[in-house]
A and B are shown apart, each in its own frame.
Chain A
């Protein structure tokens, strides 16, 4: 479970996050939806411990991410905004590296990699060097890195950006499977179809504020619209930056 309470963060004069609060529950898919620059990445970065909030609290399964970032990092798997790979290493070496950084033993790492090879359909590429991988193949390795230690919570920053139709479908299937395993999945997106197709809960973020939070049905009801898309536009007040 991921809890964010009154999160604020400024970069110099710019207020990136201005009082965001929401809860993402276990066994549910929660989507952070908002236009570019709304504060989604900043919110996620404070959750995985790379940015310090100016005010507010962020916690994962009850552990404070500011006070004990390393403890939180054990409980989460992250696909960060930047997900560069090491071109001279193989896919397997990437996954093993993460397992070792999580101080898992060799047997656990090996069985975890086997599980991921079938989950992400990586048998063709697992022992190839990453150099020359397609965007979809690179994304598989990056997502695999987030899952090696089988974390109960997942933070995915724009997981489908740059992917083709087939890879996007595979990613959606994966996210649903993770939910079915009882994990708490939090992902950010600026693609409305993405969010409406997947999410149990939606948090709409604009200009650093969480302006609406609820199930798709609740959001439609609140906006007085039948269609989710119309509800978004009405809630944000503009369709700028949304696709």
Chain B
């Protein structure tokens, strides 16, 4: 019995080592483990970079003004409020259309005349509303002009002995309750979903290559003529697959955190409180999912008739675990006990709680981990049973 167990262990190690060195030399296996983890952080970084450029209001507002000599008071007022008044381009419309400038302010010759005769004095903003990059500048200029306009109007009313309140029937006060942490959380809600996906994608190619690939290459029969139990083979291949899934998942977390350092979060009024403790908790929460993901992908790929068929099934399978993540964003659920038993769902809930700074109980963590691991073991058992079948070993025509 002892000898048997030692032999089993040695065989599992041998299979695992062989599959690892095989997979590490395979570009496709490496890509699925190393490339996907980089995609999400890159995506988020690009998105934030773009957002901060668009939203940033600290930047001095540059505004070319044509005909500034017609409204020296207005221009002085703008400059007082930090606007850098520039000389206008020769052809304002062409310059805006080509994107050389965000906008051009045009003050007509009649401005002074209109202003003095208490007619609405016309100031034109030349801009292109289809360009989101210039949206902020245009909005800021428009608000400044509106402010100047109402300030002058108020002064005129007071001069005529009328209360300025007369022209303001309704005053709108905004009270935005979203805290910076919450708005950050909304964007980072993608992270749990992405981690769950990577737990699957990371080991995907190894799972297919060691099962359907083994048969397709005609190396399954020579493998099975050795005195090795199907359980030892399946376990060894599973461990190799798990390692790929785990490395990919942890890599995603690490790259994400590193990337966050380079994103100007504060500029966006956000803060992401991912400390070492939370990172550790997230790793612990999501790791068991990689065990389950590897087992389920191996089972499906073993069952498939060919390598191609396995690829199709397994890549469709990846959409199943992100269903809870997507659904929970639309219909938020209060986590209850049974949900901790469902892989992907439990992992999503745990990750969201950890990221949101909510307390996570050891019991939920343990339930989620044990459930995912037990299901993985069950799937491993089923996979080794499949390998006992002659039709699976020699293929079904």
Kindly state whether residue B11 has any CB partner on chain A within 8 Å: yes
Residue of B nearest to A52 (CB): B390
**A84 with B217, Cβ < 8 A, contacts A89-B22, A101-B11 known:** yes
Q: Is the CB of B227 within 8 A of A85?
A: no
Partner of A49, one of B14, B223, B225: B225
Encode contact with B along A36-68: 1 for CB under 8 Å, 0 otherwise: 000000000000111110000000000000000
Q: Is the CB of A73 within 8 A of B225?
A: yes
Chain B interface bracket (under 10, 10 to 19, 20 to 34, 35 or more): 20 to 34
Query: Which of A18-26, A74-82, A117-125, A206-214 lies at the binding interface?
Result: A74-82
Kindly state whether residue A229 has any CB partner on chain B within 8 Å: no
**A86 with B22, Cβ < 8 A, contacts A97-B14, A100-B11 known:** yes
Kindly state whether residue B308 has any CB partner on chain A within 8 Å: no
Kindly state whether residue A140 has any CB partner on chain B within 8 Å: no
Q: How far is the CB of A140 from chain B (nearest CB, A)?
A: 14
Q: Is the CB of A101 within 8 A of B222?
A: no
A81–B219 alpha-carbon span in the complex (Å): 10
Q: How far is the CB of A79 from chain B (nearest CB, A)?
A: 8
Encode contact with B along A135-177: 1 for CB under 8 Å, 0 otherwise: 0000000100100000000000000000000000000000000
Residue of B nearest to A145 (CB): B222
Q: Is the CB of B390 within 8 A of A101?
A: no
Q: Which of chain A's residues have a CB closer than 8 A to the CB of B15?
A: 101
Kindly state whether residue B81 has any CB partner on chain A within 8 Å: no
Partner of B225, one of A48, A71, A86, A89: A48
Q: Is the CB of B226 within 8 A of A73?
A: yes
**A50 with B222, Cβ < 8 A, contacts A89-B21, A101-B11 known:** no
Q: Is the CB of B226 within 8 A of A86?
A: no
Encode contact with A along B97-134: 1 for CB under 8 Å, 0 otherwise: 00000000000000000000000000000000000000
Q: Which of chain B's residues have a CB closer than 8 A to the CB of A98?
A: 226
Encode contact with A along B217-234: 1 for CB under 8 Å, 0 otherwise: 111111111111100000
Kindly state whether residue A93 has any CB partner on chain B within 8 Å: yes
Kindly state whether residue B69 has any CB partner on chain A within 8 Å: no
Kindly state whether residue A103 has any CB partner on chain B within 8 Å: yes
Q: Is the CB of B221 within 8 A of A80?
A: yes
Main DSSP-derived SS at the B contact region? helix
Q: Which of chain A's residues have a CB closer than 8 A to the CB of B267?
A: none
Chain A interface bracket (under 10, 10 to 19, 20 to 34, 35 or more): 20 to 34
Kindly state whether residue A10 has any CB partner on chain B within 8 Å: no
Residue of B nearest to A99 (CB): B14
Residue of A nearest to B226 (CB): A101
Q: How far is the CB of B136 from chain A (nearest CB, A)?
A: 53
Per the 8 Å Cβ criterion, residues 1-60 of B in contact with A are 6-7, 10-11, 13-15, 18, 21-22, 25-26
A83–B221 alpha-carbon span in the complex (Å): 7
A89–B21 alpha-carbon span in the complex (Å): 8
A28–B21 alpha-carbon span in the complex (Å): 40
Encode contact with A along B187-227: 1 for CB under 8 Å, 0 otherwise: 00000000000000000000000000000011111111111
Q: Is the CB of A82 within 8 A of B10?
A: no
A80–B221 alpha-carbon span in the complex (Å): 7
Q: Which of chain B's residues have a CB closer than 8 A to the CB of A88?
A: 21-22, 25-26
**A50 with B227, Cβ < 8 A, contacts A89-B21, A103-B7 known:** no
Kindly state whether residue B382 has any CB partner on chain A within 8 Å: no
Kindly state whether residue A233 has any CB partner on chain B within 8 Å: no
A93–B25 alpha-carbon span in the complex (Å): 13
Q: How far is the CB of B229 from chain A (nearest CB, A)?
A: 7
Kindly state whether residue B393 has any CB partner on chain A within 8 Å: yes
Q: How far is the CB of B79 from chain A (nearest CB, A)?
A: 69
5 A-B pairs besides A50-B393, A82-B218, A82-B220 with CB distance below 8 A are: A50-B221, A84-B219, A87-B217, A100-B10, A101-B11
Can you list 21 pairs linking A and B with CB atoms under 8 Å apart? Answer: A48-B225, A49-B225, A50-B393, A52-B390, A70-B227, A70-B228, A73-B225, A78-B222, A83-B221, A84-B220, A84-B221, A84-B222, A86-B22, A88-B25, A89-B21, A97-B14, A100-B11, A100-B14, A101-B228, A103-B11, A145-B222
A interface residues (Cβ-Cβ under 8 A, vs B): 48-52, 70-71, 73-74, 76, 78, 80-89, 93, 97-98, 100-103, 142, 145
Q: What 9 A-B pairs come out closest when comparing CB atoms? A: A84-B218, A100-B14, A82-B218, A84-B219, A73-B227, A78-B225, A101-B226, A88-B25, A84-B217
